[in-house]
Structure 1
Amino acid sequence: MKKLRYFSFLLLLTGVILSACSNGDETPKETEASGEEYEPATIRLAYNLPSGHHISEGIEEFAKKIEEKSNGQIDMQIFANGQLLSDTDMNQSLLTGGVEMGMNSSTIWSSTVPAMGIFDVPYVFEAYEEAGEALNGEFGDILRSEMEDVGVKVLMFGDYGFGQFANNKRPLESPEDFRGLKIRSVGTLPSELIQAYGASPVFMGGGEVYMGLQRQTVDGATSGTTAMVQRSYDEVTDYLTINNYTYFEFILGVNQEFWNDLPENTQTLIEETANETEEWIRQQTKLEDERTLQVLKDRGMEVYEVTDDELDIWKEAAMPVWEIFEEEAGEAGSELLDIVDGE
């Protein structure tokens, strides 16, 4: 009997030891899986671009990666395609903390931060790689500083692509062909350009353009070919002019006060993920511009591509916009223009 009790005791002891060893093995695995500990946080991120756009895809992946890397401790709540805020309401909400993060166009930001209008200055960038190089240097630093002065930290610049003109009246083969047209605009400098070309600007949010074209509230609109495809411009316009007059940028910003209150490791995680996403978006931009231009051609739009020989006429007609930008953006604007001019 004593031997039986002793044997039972040994079995029990062995079980306890094995159980302890098993638990000891699981703990490192859990630690390895969870990685660094992050303070729980909820971040609302709003944007207005349609699903399927390469910037939209980048933003969705950005949010997904943050949640994964933080093991769900950082809850990214995404409000896409204007479901929470229109592009015209976005910036005020971000500045006041109504939303923690927002992705909006530099054009709309320029009403609050005039230096952001640099992307609306016609023909500042003539090649895709020029924008990336500028944003990674002093040019980008100036813009980030200007945004921080109003209370928003820039997390990334999202390259949208070159801007073009679509309309439902006639081919636009020279600035003179704009005369008498009503063209959708979203900001001061785009409106100045439209007027310089002889047309009348009409302010309208991105989600309203299709209906505006359909009802002939406007005769045309300026946008990138990526959004033209996503918003089915080919159904309500017949003509497309490719003149690469502007290089649209979207800015992912975060409310500065909210950002300052985040733990350092959370800030690092977000910044690193934003840098990865910015690079991915930049790599997609040219590919998407080329792909969506072909889609619009295939859908029957009549496309006129301005040649290098003709471009000087377009540039000369647009020069008043350069002067207006410099007046509005002051010293920062002059510095930005000097940098892109190579001075």
Structure 2
Amino acid sequence: MKHTHFLRTTFLALGACAGLAGEAAAETYKWITFKPQGAGDAQAVTTQWLVDEFAARTGGEHKIEVFWGGSVAKTREIPEALAAGVGDFGDVITPYFPDMMPLNNAVGFFIPQPMGTAEVGHFIENLHATYPEFKQELADHNLYAFGFRPLEAYGLLCTKPVNSLADMAGLRVRSYGFAYPKLIEAMGATPVSIATSETYEALQRSIVDCTPIGPALARGWKYDEVAKYYIEVPLGASFGHLLAMNLDSYNNMDAETQAVVDQLGRDYLVEYARVLDEDAARVRDLWTGDLGVEVIDFPVAELYDLIDDAGIQGVRAEWIEKANAAGLPADEIVKSLSFAE
């Protein structure tokens, strides 16, 4: 609690300073991100695309300066830093903040689910356009989501071949979030909570045998150096990041600039999905070459049969209860997250 209070006090003080500076140069906005500038992945590349487009579409009148690599706020500090005005723009890893934004974490309660990257992005985009509760949940923390960055469709990257559920028995699988622990248990494996940054070593040292991930991220984190089997388990795309703004910064923009930001958010999803698909295809080509990763098909029916598991259904019911309590038509919303009968 002391640490949280210290962060809040620090961010508020910095935010006040940022506000004073902003009065003298209101045309320059600050983007705070955990991504390293030289990462070269779809997230970093399209962040730079968005920044360049913002300058171009405002005729050079406005620009965004990016503070890369957690130099202003670390991953778990970004929502609070944005809310305090330390930054104007930033990317928020939604699943890291389940208590702050339970409604906006909807997809994380429904794994496996049938949607890919672009579909998940449009799904969340539509929720924000249709139901005010999703925007209000963020507004309560002085945040505004102008765009969305889903992750790629996931399978399992493993250190040993997995051809069916029978091969999952006794394996240790990296777990996080809401649905994965119960899904992994239903598959007959043991969930192990490990941070993304620690997973390479965990795979290398056999602390875990598998991790849910997609090809592009597996290459980005170099997990495919130590785990050589990619299992095509159709887990669906996870919802990853909000492209967020400090709500006051957004409200203080003129209507024309707000329109540029909102349209950029919609266009960003299209560009990001395109770049991510190209990246994933490139990685799959590398896997068939020098990287030597074997891609294994998984019997889809075996996965679908698990959805009725009591643990998996319990997680889904948890989100439905939260949504109903907020006055949302949960049963209608979750149709998109369910496999067709």
TM-score by length of 1: 0.74
Q: Which one of the candidate residues 283, 293, 306 is aligned to 2:298?
A: 306
2:152 is matched with 161
- In 2, Cα distance between the equivalents of 1:229 and 1:129? 21
- In 2, Cα distance between the equivalents of 1:268 and 1:107? 28
2:242 is matched with 251
2:19 is matched with none
* Match runs of 1:103-252 below 5 Å: 103-120=91-108, 121-127=110-116, 130-131=119-120, 133-138=122-127, 141-142=130-131, 143-168=134-159, 170-249=160-239, 250-252=241-243
Relative to structure 1, the CA distance from residue 329 to residue 164 in structure 2 (aligned partners, 3 Å threshold; closer, same or farther) is farther
Shift of 1:128: 5.3
- In 1, Cα distance between the equivalents of 2:236 and 2:112? 6
Matched, 1:321 2:315: yes
- In 2, Cα distance between the equivalents of 1:74 and 1:216? 50
- In 2, Cα distance between the equivalents of 1:140 and 1:202? 37
Shift of 1:61: 0.6
- In 2, Cα distance between the equivalents of 1:55 and 1:186? 21
Relative to structure 1, the CA distance from residue 325 to residue 293 in structure 2 (aligned partners, 3 Å threshold; closer, same or farther) is farther
* Match runs of 1:45-56 below 5 Å: 45-48=32-35, 51-56=39-44
1:337 is matched with 334
2:83 is matched with 95
Q: Secondary structure at the match of 2:40?
A: coil
Relative to structure 1, the CA distance from residue 203 to residue 48 in structure 2 (aligned partners, 3 Å threshold; closer, same or farther) is farther
Shift of 1:226: 0.9
- In 2, Cα distance between the equivalents of 1:221 and 1:257? 39
Matched, 1:65 2:53: yes
Q: Which one of the candidate residues 254, 261, 272 is aligned to 1:270?
A: 261
TM-superposition CA deviations, 1:165-217 (whole Å, max 9, x none): 2122x323344544444333342333333333344434444333323333444
Look up the equivalent residue of 1:266 and give its one-letter code.
T
Conserved? CA contact 2:135–2:145, under 8 Å? yes
- In 1, Cα distance between the equivalents of 2:313 and 2:161? 23
Please provide the CA RMSD for this pair: 3.2
- In 2, Cα distance between the equivalents of 1:247 and 1:73? 37
Q: Which one of the candidate residues 271, 278, 298 is aligned to 1:280?
A: 271
- In 2, Cα distance between the equivalents of 1:140 and 1:112? 20
Give structure 1 stretches of 5+ with no counterpart. 1-37
Shift of 1:151: 2.9
Relative to structure 1, the CA distance from residue 337 to residue 287 in structure 2 (aligned partners, 3 Å threshold; closer, same or farther) is same
Relative to structure 1, the CA distance from residue 175 to residue 95 in structure 2 (aligned partners, 3 Å threshold; closer, same or farther) is farther
Relative to structure 1, the CA distance from residue 325 to residue 241 in structure 2 (aligned partners, 3 Å threshold; closer, same or farther) is farther
Q: Secondary structure at the match of 1:265?
A: helix
Relative to structure 1, the CA distance from residue 252 to residue 213 in structure 2 (aligned partners, 3 Å threshold; closer, same or farther) is same
Shift of 1:276: 1.9
Shift of 1:53: 1.9
2:13 is matched with none
Q: Secondary structure at the match of 2:163?
A: coil
1:31 is matched with none
Look up the equivalent residue of 2:138 and give its one-letter code.
M
- In 2, Cα distance between the equivalents of 1:285 and 1:199? 30
- In 2, Cα distance between the equivalents of 1:233 and 1:242? 16
Conserved? CA contact 1:48–1:104, under 8 Å? no
Q: Secondary structure at the match of 1:137?
A: helix
- In 2, Cα distance between the equivalents of 1:80 and 1:215? 31
Q: Secondary structure at the match of 1:262?
A: coil
